[in-house]
Amino acid sequence: MSKAHRAACVIGYPARHSRSPKLHGYWIAKYGLDAAYRAEEIPPDRIRGWLSNLAAHGYVGANVTMPRKEIAFELSTPDERARAVGAANTLWLEDGQLLSTNTDIEGFINALDAASPGWQKRAATAVVLGAGGASRAIIYGLIERGVCDIRLVNRTLAKAEAIGAQFGDVVRPVAWHDRQQQLATAQLLVNTTSLGMHGNAPLDIDVADLPRDAVVSDIVYVPLETPLLAAATARGLATANGLDMLLHQAVRGFEIWFGVRPTVTRELYDLLAADIGH
């Protein structure tokens, strides 16, 4: 099937801060495709009508950012991954139907694979901080990779318990003040909270208690190196950051819309990192 003259977009409000046009634009140029990827700023009251008429707006697919992932989920036919997370970030038209998936799962897992090949052979126990939408995607990915003990630490314990109820005994909800005690046996520590993000308070946790071969991941990407990741690097631990995840989550959408599976390279990372500026 010809993939000529295809366009996709990222829908946000605002959308101008999105790094996705630069990322997909890089791949479009690299693979010499007759394609386009644009940012579309759509106000919340127009999003439903807009997504329902994607083809009329000239698009074969779209990404949506928070908090539109739930709306995208409702308006589309989600696959199993999107259903497990209750949110969709990648949409495409197929035979006139709007389909969706959640690529945050593979974004997280593939970034970990790149940062520390074979991590899952060691990671029997993982500590995940935060119980929002990103946390749900990450937990799905960890379970799929065979992690059998996930300590889910959240300030609002009830939210961790709700995720535990969905995913079963493999997820153990833990109170926020007990986070430090979880580290001694954790081969993987993941921050999905907004702590450490530019303008927010830093995450108060000491990576000194992690095992020597632990991996630390942070979904925050402004700054690229959060205080958590800086501390982990100083200890010699492998790390994956939010930009690694962003790049890896973009791969499947690009492949679905434009028919080429793109590669995440150091050059692409550096291009986006320069844009983020830290």
Member of 9, 64, 88, 195 binding ligand ATR (CB under 6 A): 195
Q: Residue 261: how many CA atoms within 13 Å on its side-chain side?
A: 2
Closest of 215, 218, 216, 182 to residue 197, by C-alpha: 218
* Contact flag: residue 134 with ligand ATR (CB under 6 A): yes
Please answer whether residues 62 and 8 qualify as being in contact, where contact means their C-beta atoms are separated by less than 8 angstroms.
yes
* Contact flag: residue 130 with ligand ATR (CB under 6 A): yes
* Contact flag: residue 233 with ligand ATR (CB under 6 A): no
* Contact flag: residue 155 with ligand ATR (CB under 6 A): yes
Candidate ranges 19-27, 188-196, 251-259, 265-273; the one touching ligand ATR (CB under 6 A): 188-196
3 state SS of 6: strand
Candidate ranges 6-14, 110-118, 124-132, 250-258; the one touching ligand ATR (CB under 6 A): 124-132
Please answer whether residues 260 and 31 qualify as being in contact, where contact means their C-beta atoms are separated by less than 8 angstroms.
yes
N-to-C CA span, the chain:
41
Residue nearer to ligand ATR on the CB measure, 61 or 133: 133
Environment class of residue 32 by beta-carbon count within 10 Å: exposed (0-12), middle (13-18) or buried (19+)? Answer: exposed
Member of 131, 190, 216, 243 binding ligand ATR (CB under 6 A): 131
Nearest distance from residue 45's CB to ligand ATR, in Å?
22
* Contact flag: residue 204 with ligand ATR (CB under 6 A): no
Number of residues lying near ligand ATR (CB under 6 A): 17
| Rounded (10°) angle between helices 266-276 and 20-30 | 150
The answer for 109, left when phi > 0, alpha when psi is -120 to 50, beta otherwise, is alpha
Gap between the Cα atoms of 50 and 85, Å rounded: 23
Candidate ranges 2-10, 96-104, 162-170, 186-194; the one touching ligand ATR (CB under 6 A): 186-194
Nearest distance from residue 158's CB to ligand ATR, in Å?
9
* Contact flag: residue 90 with ligand ATR (CB under 6 A): no
* Contact flag: residue 66 with ligand ATR (CB under 6 A): yes
Nearest distance from residue 219's CB to ligand ATR, in Å?
7
Identify whether 3 is a catalytic site residue.
no
Task: Check whether the bond before 14 is cis (ω within 30° of 0).
Answer: yes
Candidate ranges 34-42, 70-78, 117-125, 155-163; the one touching ligand ATR (CB under 6 A): 155-163
* Contact flag: residue 63 with ligand ATR (CB under 6 A): no
* Contact flag: residue 191 with ligand ATR (CB under 6 A): no
Please answer whether residues 102 and 82 qualify as being in contact, where contact means their C-beta atoms are separated by less than 8 angstroms.
yes
Torsion of CA 120, 125, 131, 133, to 10 degrees: 10
3 state SS of 147: coil
Look up residue 85 and give its two tokens: 């997370």
Catalytic-role residue among 3, 30, 69, 121 = 69
Positions that interact with ligand ATR (CB under 6 A): 66, 130-135, 154-156, 159, 176, 192-195, 201
Residues recognised as catalytic: 69
